[in-house]
Amino acid sequence: MTNPHIGNTGVNFADEESKQCLLGGLVIRSLSISTSNWRCAETLGDYLAERNIMGVYDVDTRAITRRLRQDGSLIGVLSTEESKEERNFWKCLIRVDLITGVTCKAPYEWVDKTNSEWEFNYKGRDGEAFHVIASDFGIKHNILRRLASHGCKITVVPSTYSSSETLTRKPDGVICSSGPGDPSAVPYAVETVKEILGKVPVFGICMGHQLLGQALGGKTFKMKFGHHGGNHPVRNLRTGHVEISAQNHNYAVDPASLPEGVEVTHVNLNDGSCAGLAYPAINIMSLQYHPEASPGPRDSDYAFTEFVELMKRVKVNA
């Protein structure tokens, strides 16, 4: 964290976006000695300690930022094991499958109700519920809440769930969720997505967008800095509108590597990188950023409406 003061608002459990905290470690400059927020349920230090997550403060995070600004994203290690040789750490961090450690262990139905405060883009339902399979590559709860707010029945499945198992459930659509790491480190997920394409509508978000890019025959690459934070401007090339988006990724899809028929629908205005794709011929759409927000801007929430409309058109024309 580069903000100098961290922890002054504490932690509240209502804002958690997964069933458990999947953080590997936290490095900050200054840890607040007190909290001041009406929603605070626990201090940051207690929250990390109870979950056995390593944290360190009194670090010059601005110096780290200057180094990263010059050299780009770098591999780092936070450890208490002085006996290990440095090169042994690096071997553990290159092309690592980070998804296996964050996905669910077995399929489950999403049954939590969507709070009224998240119904800001709700325009009513026509009574038809679509069954959506959500492939969990590190899914955020608000992706599920936004689908549920549109009346969808949602089954969340592990990242290793096969295409045949997915299609046996007869979904109306599949969501390939967000998640950590390098899409090239999870070829099994790319293969599963490839086998689903063209059979049902597919919506990819963040990691799901990158997996779709590879499944279509495209390439992904590691960015120098990646995109992190809640204020990235993105242009919707179909409408010309600019959306402010929340992003958190280190890899991107190379649009020049994609086959004919695949359309780049969104572009990041900071660096021109691909921020969204569509392949109308086989009912695919994807976004590199987080339309579900939580936290973050709500400018792109319409994407969930578009996915529901896509499932509706496919069902009508079947």
Q: Decide: 135 and 115 in contact? Cβ < 8 Å.
A: no
From CA 116, how far away is CA 150, in angstroms rounded?
A: 13
What are 227's strand-pairing partners?
A: 249
Residue in 150, 227, 249, 290 annotated catalytic = 290
- Single out the residue of 289, 286, 251, 250 nearest to residue 269, CA to CA: 289
Residues 215/190, Cβ–Cβ less than 8 Å: yes
- Among left, alpha and beta (phi > 0; psi -120 to 50; other), residue 138 is left
Contacts of 123 (CB under 8 A, 6+ apart): 305
Alpha helices per DSSP H over 156-273: 163-168, 187-196, 207-215
Q: Do 17 and 294 touch, CB atoms closer than 8 A?
A: yes
Active site residue 249: no
Active site residue 206: yes
Backbone angles phi, psi at 26, to 5 degrees: -140, 130
> CA 279, 206, 39: angle at the middle one, nearest 5?
140
Identify the CA nearest to 292 among candidates 149, 182, 112.
149
Query: Which residues, at least 6 apart from 294, have a Cβ–Cβ distance to it below 8 Å?
Result: 15, 17, 118, 140, 141, 142, 145
From 152, 227, 249, 292, the catalytic residue: 292
Active site residue 290: yes
- Name which of 145, 303, 300 is nearest 235 in CA terms: 300
Residue 304 CA: distances (Å) to CA of 188, 233, 252, 281, 309? 26, 19, 22, 19, 9
Q: Pull the structure tokens for residue 85.
A: 């040789």
Write down the catalytic residue from 152, 176, 206, 274. Answer: 206
Q: Give the active site residues.
A: 206, 290, 292
